Structure 1
Amino acid sequence: MFPKLTPVTKNIIILNVIIYVIANFIYPNLYPLLQAYFPLSPNFKSWQIITHMFMHAPLGEGYGIMHILFNMMTLWSFGPVLEQIIGEKKYIILYFLSGLGGFVLFNLWNYYEIHQLIQSLTSEGINVAEIFQKANIHYSGSMSISAKTPLAVEQSQQLYNELVSPMLGASAAIMGVVAGFATLFPDAKLYMMFIPIGIKAKYLVIGFVIISFFLQITGKTLGIAHFAHIGGAIVGYIMARNFVKNQYRIN
């Protein structure tokens, strides 16, 4: 089921597991420090652009341990093959740029939604700077908001939630790896749990991207950053195509 682990893939999996154990059993304060917040949130730190790729849902919350288990199993399934084909250096570049692509696309969508909320709240006479202040995870003052209409109350809560809700996980980077694999081996048949027939890799990735786009646009996200997955897949596809195109270039 799983190919032999290659050096880079093995080290990425080990690092993810080590950080998960430390964050859940030794130093839980790693979560607010290393998971990524919206770049304009008072909780955002520049290093989170990278570190969020090594954080996964805490035990007993959200998807819990299944989050890291599914991600690492997927990486183990596709990573070694791609790593051997394109080489360790290009594989590392593809992995992290896919993760960054996911971060950028997800937060571009967040920016659109937050901008709409800010405009609406401002027209309601709400001081949005007050909401940004209260969204700081270290804030300890009053949480009351000067909203007088049901709409303003609802949108104030929505803005607050956007500013305190973190993004975490290696899913975007791993989707880049899966998309890279599908680009190099588009007709490879993949077998998934509960599906008795093989699905070509190219159709699986295309279908996943379409479904993710639909779920994000309709708001049926279930706590999943679907646009991050799409961003990772796009970057992985572009980079894998570029690697193939330049494979036999003579310098």
Structure 2
Amino acid sequence: MPFNLPRITKILLIANIVGFALQWLLGDARMQVFELWPLGDSLYDPSGSAPSFMPWQLLTYGFLHDPSNIFHLAFNMLALVMFGAPLEYTWGERRFLTYYLVCVFGAGLCQLLVGSIAVSQGELAYRTVGASGGVFGLLLAYGMLFPNQRVMLLFPPIPMKARTLVILYGVFELSLGLTGLQPGVAHFAHLGGMLFGWLLIRYWRGQPPFGKRKPPDRRPPLRVVR
């Protein structure tokens, strides 16, 4: 465990590991109330066979992972450490935690909408788990704050600027979400995390749609007469 991590990044890392351990020890069925489920069980599923959506799921799902796929947890936690630590050092604990939770919530909200629409069209209700929405939000923030920082992909190992990586991931996720070429992955949740992170950063900066920057003062400086 890398104990030299900043405090909030370390807490988020431990929380995700604990959530994974609870799923493995207690069984996934007992943790369903904390996973994100669409609205279809109450609106479109009269039999009530699907678990119910509860408001807290918009946050708790982000601390759970598929217990049969440890690689999902491992890659998310690696990204949390890589991108979260420098952001927390830059922003401080409170702003970093706010940003991460907003991204998790926004990703869950987008996935809730997409999943509920799918169920209303006759598809079976399915759960959503994983920290990927928050992680994609961190990736976007890293690319915005450190656009020229060189990062290395794992597969394939290609170095590129952080800004380029964010753009490629965004386009990749959008194309997979629209085409459905990779089912079983919440691509719109990933995009939702990036979208809400982008909106929050623009809010903090006072940029549209939340405000307008004052135009630069192009008047010549006042002449000082001595």
Q: Provide the TM-score with structure 1 as the length reference.
A: 0.72
Query: Amino acid of the residue matched to residue 12 of structure 1?
Result: L
Corresponding residue number in structure 2 for 1:207: 168
What CA distance in whole angstroms lies between the structure 2 residues aligned with 1:199 and 1:22? 37
What CA distance in whole angstroms lies between the structure 2 residues aligned with 1:4 and 1:240? 27
What CA distance in whole angstroms lies between the structure 1 residues aligned with 2:3 and 2:142? 14
1:232 aligns with 2:193: yes
Corresponding residue number in structure 2 for 1:56: 65
Corresponding residue number in structure 2 for 1:167: 128
Corresponding residue number in structure 1 for 2:88: 83
Query: How is 1:94-133 mapped onto 2 (pairs within 5 angstroms)?
Result: 94-115=99-120, 117=121
Report the Cα offset of residue 111 of structure 1.
Answer: 3.5
8 Å CA contact 2:147–2:161 kept in 1: the answer is: yes
Q: Name the structure, 1 or 2, with higher relative contact order (CA <8 Å, separation 6+).
A: 1
1:21 aligns with 2:24: no
Query: Amino acid of the residue matched to residue 88 of structure 1?
Result: E
8 Å CA contact 2:40–2:119 kept in 1: the answer is: no
8 Å CA contact 1:180–1:239 kept in 2: the answer is: no
Structure 1 residue ranges without an equivalent (≥5): 118-154, 247-251
Corresponding residue number in structure 2 for 1:243: 204
What CA distance in whole angstroms lies between the structure 2 residues aligned with 1:110 and 1:221? 15
SS in 2 for 1:205: helix
8 Å CA contact 1:94–1:239 kept in 2: the answer is: yes
Q: Provide the TM-score with structure 2 as the length reference.
A: 0.80
2:151 to 155, 180, 190: 190
8 Å CA contact 1:4–1:80 kept in 2: the answer is: no
1:73 aligns with 2:34: no
Report the Cα offset of residue 203 of structure 1.
Answer: 1.4
Q: 1:45 to 1:3 in 2, by over 3 A?
A: same
Corresponding residue number in structure 1 for 2:6: 6
Query: Amino acid of the residue matched to residue 6 of structure 1?
Result: P
SS in 1 for 2:194: helix
8 Å CA contact 2:37–2:112 kept in 1: the answer is: no
Report the Cα offset of residue 85 of structure 1.
Answer: 0.7
SS in 2 for 1:57: coil
Query: What count of residue pairs does the alignment treat as equivalent?
Result: 197
